[in-house]
């Protein structure tokens, strides 16, 4: 194992016990919550980029289906919408692992936070002025419901692209 040698004692090491990173239970809780916040931001950014790309593709798909050009409109309204549907489906398949990984990391930090809340005597005591120390704040069920939209959108858009691609072919034949 490699070690980085530095001068002095780092500020995040407990002076009496160098193996402890966190001085208090509150420090550990703040760390867990900060990690959860960062991962939720990453998940939100990935979801926004995905939804923006899908919105653009839906608008382009609708525009290509509305083409009324008599010379090349028939082949254009068959080929391009099917290609857009395939592209949208591929984007949905590609977006799913990134969203799942963010979701898994958020689950990991929530599990650590919940474990700490249930097992640390100081964290499990209700305190006036510190409502964040209550275990109900860390329930997994609420986390799953909150993140469900980001996890379902690739499946919804993937299904939509399959239907739209089939519709494009059906309309022409």
Q: Could you read off the pLDDT of 34-75 as tens digits, one per residue? A: 999 999 999 999 999 999 999 999 999 999 988 888 787 788
- What pLDDT does residue 167 have? 94
- What pLDDT does residue 75 have? 82
Non-local (6+) Cβ contacts of 113 within 8 A are 29, 32, 33, 36, 138
Q: Which two tokens stand for residue 110?
A: 């929530």
Range from 58-67, 123-132, 136-145 that averages highest in pLDDT: 58-67
- CB half-sphere exposure, 154, CA atoms < 13 A: 18
For 131, phi and psi rounded to 5 degrees?
A: -70, -15
Tell whether the model's pLDDT for residue 20 goes beyond 50.
yes
- Binning pLDDT at 50, 70 and 90, where does residue 137 land? low
- What pLDDT does residue 113 have? 85
Tell whether the model's pLDDT for residue 135 goes beyond 80.
no
What is d(CA 114, CA 172) in angstroms, rounded to the nearest whole number?
56
Secondary element (H or E) of residue 50: helix 25-65
Residue of 26 and 126 predicted with greater confidence: 26
Tell whether the model's pLDDT for residue 138 goes beyond 60.
no
The whole-model pTM stands at 0.75
Contact in structure between 42 and 102 (CB atoms under 8 Å): yes
- Binning pLDDT at 50, 70 and 90, where does residue 133 land? very low
What is d(CA 160, CA 152) in angstroms, rounded to the nearest whole number?
12
Q: Which two tokens stand for residue 60?
A: 């382009």
């Amino acid at each position: 194992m490699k070690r980085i040698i530095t001068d002095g004692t780092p500020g995040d090491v407990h002076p009496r016990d160098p193996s402890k990173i966190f001085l208090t239970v509150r420090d550990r809780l703040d760390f867990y919550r900060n990690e959860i916040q960062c991962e939720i931001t990453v998940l939100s950014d990935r979801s926004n980029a995905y939804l923006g790309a899908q919105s653009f593709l839906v608008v382009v798909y609708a525009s290509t289906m509305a083409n009324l050009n008599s010379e090349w409109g028939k082949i254009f309204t068959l080929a391009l919408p099917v290609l857009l549907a395939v592209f949208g489906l591929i984007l949905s398949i590609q977006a799913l692992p990134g969203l799942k990984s963010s979701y898994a990391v958020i689950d990991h930090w929530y599990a650590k936070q919940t474990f700490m809340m249930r097992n640390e005597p100081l964290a499990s005591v209700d305190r006036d002025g510190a409502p964040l120390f209550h275990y109900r704040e860390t329930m997994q069920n609420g986390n799953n419901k909150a993140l469900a939209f980001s996890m379902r959108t690739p499946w919804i858009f993937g299904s939509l692209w399959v239907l739209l691609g089939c519709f494009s072919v059906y309309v022409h034949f």
